[in-house]
Each structure stands twice: as structure tokens, then as C-alpha cells.
Amino acid sequence: MAAGPNSETGMATRAREAAPGIGELPNYVGGRFEVTGSLFDDVTPVSGAVVSRVHEADSALVDAAVHAARGAFESAWRPMPTAKRCALLHKVADGIEARFDDFLAAEVADTGKPASIARQIDIPRGAANFRLFANLMETAGTDCFEMDTPDGRGALNYSVREPHGVVGVIAPWNLPLLLLTWKVAPALASGNTVIAKPSEETPVTATLLAEVMDAVGVPPGVFNVVHGFGPNSAGEWLSRHPGIDALTFTGESRTGAAIMKAAADTVKPLSFELGGKNAAVVFADADFDAAIEGTARSVFANCGQVCLCSERVYVERPIFERFVAALKAQAEALVPADPWANDCTLGPLISAEHRTKVLGYYDLAKNEGAEVVTGGGVQDFGDARDAGCYVQPTIWTGLPDSARTVREEVFGPVCHVAPFDSEDEAIARANDSDYGLATAIWTRDLSRAHRVARRIEAGICWVNCWFLRDLRTPFGGVKLSGIGREGGLHSLNFYAEQKNICVKL
Ligand code: NAD
Ligand code: 6OD
């Protein structure tokens, strides 16, 4: 293992020159950029070209990261006054903003998502996550209760939040910087040190974040990045590691189950944001145009690769035919293009492997009896896009609720639309799922909106909107969609142990 001086990683310049071609990505451990000699390719789904060659962490480097993070927790980060820690996190946000174009180029190359989306959502949220949790940490209160005692003197209870120590963050590829910082920022704000493992599909922005941390003076060992995969690689090693005091994960439900097993022997707190098979419920009295626009976004945004995307759409029968026709028009108006093209509204899927999986579901739906309203395969562009992982946006109707394509998460630009006849039926069918992440309800009847929202089995219910995020609100899912809530104080409560102190007066 050799160390590369921080100033010589050169990623910023190379990213600005527009990836592919970012070069080699080191790990970041104890304030040093570490190479390992075992390299894997990070390719762009736009063309299959190599974006970067990534140094995979071996188990010794993961151990070294845990050791460095523990040392930094004890000697630097926990003792640091909260105001100073939070000021540093604001500098991290400043640093992301200062290198906005680098982050943007890297995220677009890694994911293939339209640059317009990454510019408006992913990169600004990367910075906003640090600002939110830095501000919150400085203002958040804790419980305080005065109690009576038999001797009449009373007692005072107050609680404090104590950081866990070393927090492991395992992140997915669909919103790489946004979802990584959603966890790194509150973990650091709470006084923990962090070891982050980005997805092997999208490792660049995590390494850029390490460069920012390094440049703004976050003490060595406070933030570490290890690159690698899941099983028998950095993901599993972090999950099992006795030196990791808490673990937060976003990704597939079955990966969450594997992590839970790996983490079981060390009984560490876990926060899981997992998969979904989200329902949209559209009543006949809804603002039709708003419901169509919102549902189209909720199905096709980021090529359907958002955990909150609607893959099941239930529409009240009187407007069913009109709704399907209008949604079809929205799907067919999407522009699959190079992500830097101004008119691009549909990028490729994340990888050839994922495209094979999504196309497998496209075939399965036909076998299960779907009527394919639009899409159902791959485009034949006759140009450079044919080398990318593009698929057609797809709408199915006519499937039974028992079909695998109605029950399993596809994670692509696809939905099944089904008619319903009553509120009770819509609720029952929306709830007939192993998952429970998010639901969108479209109606002008506010009493009904409240009533339905209360009966829906999901962690998040949007009414007449989708993916409208207030970062202080609880975020998470029920059933296979996760464990726990993050967001605002909910994050601060996960990233700390709450200790009650009872003082007899
Ligand atoms: P994934 O589960 O395949 O991978 C996520 C991360 O886990 C990666 O870093 C991967 O290397 C790591 N990993 C894989 N196997 C592991 C193992 N055995 N032990 C430890 N780490 C392991 O998920 P993905 O394909 O990157 O992301 C898509 C999935 O994530 C979808 O199911 C989507 O719904 C879900 N997701 C959920 C949310 C949410 O907030 N609920 C947000 C985004 C994505
Ligand atoms: O907006 C967020 O904070 C968040 N966690 C979004 C998750 C999107 C899933 O793909």
C-alpha cells in the first residue's frame, strides 16, 4: 500500500475536463490518499467507457480506516467544541459549492443521469445536507423532566446525546453524493467519525468529498473513504467489524438483510433505507394535469432509479382510460439523450447488468399477461446512444396484483397502471405489498386525502405532490423498505446514544 500526497490526486482537474477519464481513485484513510494496487473499473453507462480505475480496499485497509477513525474520534472530533465542528461542516458545504462543476461532471459520468437533474438536485443537496445538520446540531435541544420523589425534594432528569464513535456508511449508486452526505453529515455533526463506502458503480463523488474534507481542514481520520464491493469486500467487512459502532445503509432490501446478519454478532445500531414498490393512488376528482405531471415524474425521474418512484399506479375507473393515454404521451415525450444535452430527460440505466435485470422484467411482464401500453424494450437509435444502457420508458396494464412484475421492485422507468372502484379497494391494493416506503395520493378532497394517508402502510405519504422534501421530516420505510427514520432530529437521534442523567435534588 502506498500513500499519495493529497495535492497530487489531481482529480479536480481531470473531472473538470469532463469524465470519462478521471484516472485512478484512491481510498482516503487517516487523512492520506491510499492506493492498493488492486484496481477495478468504474464505467459510465452512457457509453461503457472507463471513468476511473478504482483502488479496492483490502481488509487491512478497512482495519486501518477503523483504527484511524477511532483515534480521530478520541483525540480530535469528540473533544472539539460543537460550534467549531459545525463551522467546519459549513466549510465542507462551501467546498462542495466551490467545486460544483467537478462534482457535477463526476456524478453525470458515473450515473449517466441528465446533467440538469444533477445540477438542480444531487450536487446542491450534497452541500445542503452539511448545512442542515450543522445548523441543527447547534440548536437541537434534548428532554428535561422534573420529577417528584417520596422525600419531597424532587429530581431532575435531563438527557444528552453521546456520539456512538465510529459510524459506517454504505451507500447506493442512484443518488450517490446526495445519499452519502445525507448520512455522513449528521453522523459527523453528532460528533462521530465516519468510514464511507460508496457504491462500486459510482465511487467518484465520495473521493471528491474526501478531497474537500482534506482541503478545508477536517482532521485526519474523521472522514474516511474505502472503495469496494459488498460480499467479501469493504461492505461486508465494515458490517462485521467490531470497531464500527453504528452502521447506516441505503440500498436493496436483500442487501439490508445480509448486512443485518453480518452485523448481528456485534449488535450495533442499524439504520436501513431500503427498496420500494411504491403506489400512486389517483382519484377521479384530482387535478388531472397535476396528477399526470406528478405521476410521470414519479415513474420516470432518474430513469425510474429513485427508491421513491411509483411502480404501481392505481387510478379511479372513470378517468382510467384518459389517464393511461395521457401518461403514455408523457412517457413518449421523454428524450433519451446524452446526459449533457440540454433536452435530455431520460438517461441510461446505471449499468449493463442492471439493464439486463430491467429487460428481464419487461419480458416477464409480457409472459404474465401485461398489455404493453408503450415501451417494453430497447430503442434502436442508430447512433452513439446504442452503446449506452438506455431502455424504453414502459407502461403496463392488465396484470393481476399477484404478478411478480406488480410485486417486485424493478428500479427502472416502468409502472403498471390499474383501475379501482372504491377508496377501500385502492387502499387495500396499495397496501398489498411487501414494501412500504412512499405513496402519492392525488385528490381534491382533503378529508379523503387525510383519511387515505392515515391508512396507507408507508413511511412517507405525499398528497398532490411527489418527492417534495423538507429535510427536517422523518424519512424511511415500513416492512421491507427499512428500519428507522432519518432526517432532522431523527438523524441526530440515530447518530447518538441518548443518555438520561437523573439528579436527585
Ligand atoms: P445495493 O444493495 O446493491 O448496494 C448498495 C450498497 O451496498 C453498495 O455500496 C454495495 O457495494 C453494498 N453492498 C452490496 N452487498 C453488500 C453486502 N453483502 N454487505 C455490505 N454491503 C453490501 O443497492 P443499489 O443497487 O446500489 O441501489 C438500489 C437499491 O437501493 C434499490 O433497491 C433502491 O430502492 C434502494 N434505495 C433505497 C433508498 C431509500 O431511501 N429507501 C434510497 C436509494 C436507493
Ligand atoms: O431526499 C432524501 O433525503 C432521500 N433520502 C432520498 C432518497 C431517494 C431514494 O432513492
pLDDT beyond 90 at 93: yes
Measured from the CB, is residue 176 less than 6 Å from ligand 1? no
| CA–CA dist 494, 487 (Å, integer) | 10
pLDDT beyond 90 at 17: no
**Ligand 2 centroid from CA 149, angstroms:** 46
Q: What is the reported pLDDT for 361?
A: 99
Q: What is the reported pLDDT for 7?
A: 35
DSSP state of 456: S
Q: What is the reported pLDDT for 72?
A: 99
Of 250, 268, 355, best ligand 1 pocket probe by most atoms within 8 Å of the beta carbon: 250
pLDDT beyond 50 at 1: no
End-to-end CA distance of the chain: 57
**Ligand 1 centroid from CA 494, angstroms:** 19
Give every strand in the sheet of 50-55, ordered side by side: 23-25, 50-55, 39-43
**Global pTM?**
0.96
pLDDT beyond 70 at 172: yes
Mean pLDDT of the chain: 95
Q: Among residues 132, 101, 99, 94, which one has the least CA distance to residue 118?
A: 101
Q: Which residue lies with its CA nearest to atom 30 of ligand 1?
A: 251
pLDDT beyond 70 at 13: no
Residue 50 contacts residue 41 (beta carbons within 8 Å)? yes
What are the tens digits of pLDDT across the range 382-396? Answer: 999 999 999 999 999
Q: Which atom of ligand 1 is nearest to the CA of 350?
A: 25
Measured from the CB, is residue 460 less than 6 Å from ligand 2? no
Measured from the CB, is residue 462 less than 6 Å from ligand 2? no
Where do the H-state alpha helices sit in 301-444? Answer: 320-333, 352-367, 404-407, 423-431
What are the tens digits of pLDDT across the range 97-107? Answer: 999 999 999 99
Band (pLDDT 50/70/90 cuts) for residue 210 is very high
Band (pLDDT 50/70/90 cuts) for residue 11 is very low
Backbone dihedral angles phi then psi of residue 23, each to the nearest 5 degrees? 105, -150
**Ligand 1 centroid from CA 215, angstroms:** 29
Of 42, 170, 205, best ligand 1 pocket probe by most atoms within 8 Å of the beta carbon: 170
Q: Is 199 left (phi over 0), alpha (psi -120 to 50) or beta?
A: beta
Of 54, 129, 226, 307, best ligand 1 pocket probe by most atoms within 8 Å of the beta carbon: 307
Q: What is the reported pLDDT for 6?
A: 35
Measured from the CB, is residue 469 less than 6 Å from ligand 2? yes
**Type of residue found at 496:** A
Helix, strand, or coil here: 127? helix
pLDDT beyond 50 at 2: no
Of 177, 308, 490, best ligand 2 pocket probe by most atoms within 8 Å of the beta carbon: 308
Stated as kind and residue range, the H or E segment containing 314 is strand 310-316
**Type of residue found at 307:** C
Measured from the CB, is residue 260 less than 6 Å from ligand 1? no
What are the tens digits of pLDDT across the range 222-280? Answer: 999 999 999 999 999 999 999 999 999 999 999 999 999 999 999 999 999 999 999 99
Q: In DSSP terms, which residues pair with 463 in a beta bridge? A: 441
Measured from the CB, is residue 459 less than 6 Å from ligand 1? no
**Ligand 1 centroid from CA 250, angstroms:** 5
What are the tens digits of pLDDT across the range 460-494? Answer: 999 999 999 999 999 999 999 999 999 999 999 99
Residue 315 contacts residue 418 (beta carbons within 8 Å)? yes
Tell me whether strands 166-170 and 193-197 are parallel, antiparallel or unpaired. Answer: parallel
Residues with a catalytic annotation lie at 273, 307
pLDDT beyond 60 at 10: no
Q: What angle do CA 197, 199, 203 make, to 5 degrees?
A: 85
* Grid coordinates given for 467: 418527492
- Percent of the chain scoring above 90 in pLDDT: 95
Nearest bound ligand to the CA of residue 126: 2
Band (pLDDT 50/70/90 cuts) for residue 8 is very low
**Ligand 1 centroid from CA 278, angstroms:** 17
Measured from the CB, is residue 220 less than 6 Å from ligand 1? no
**Ligand 1 centroid from CA 15, angstroms:** 25
Measured from the CB, is residue 276 less than 6 Å from ligand 1? yes
pLDDT beyond 60 at 16: no
Band (pLDDT 50/70/90 cuts) for residue 21 is low
What are the tens digits of pLDDT across the range 348-358? Answer: 999 999 999 99
* Grid coordinates given for 247: 452502521
Q: Which atom of ligand 2 is nearest to the CA of 182?
A: 3
Q: What is the reported pLDDT for 22?
A: 76
Q: What are the residues whose beta carbons fall under 8 Å from the beta carbon of 169, sequence distance 6 or more?
A: 180, 183, 184, 187, 194, 195, 196, 197, 247, 248, 249
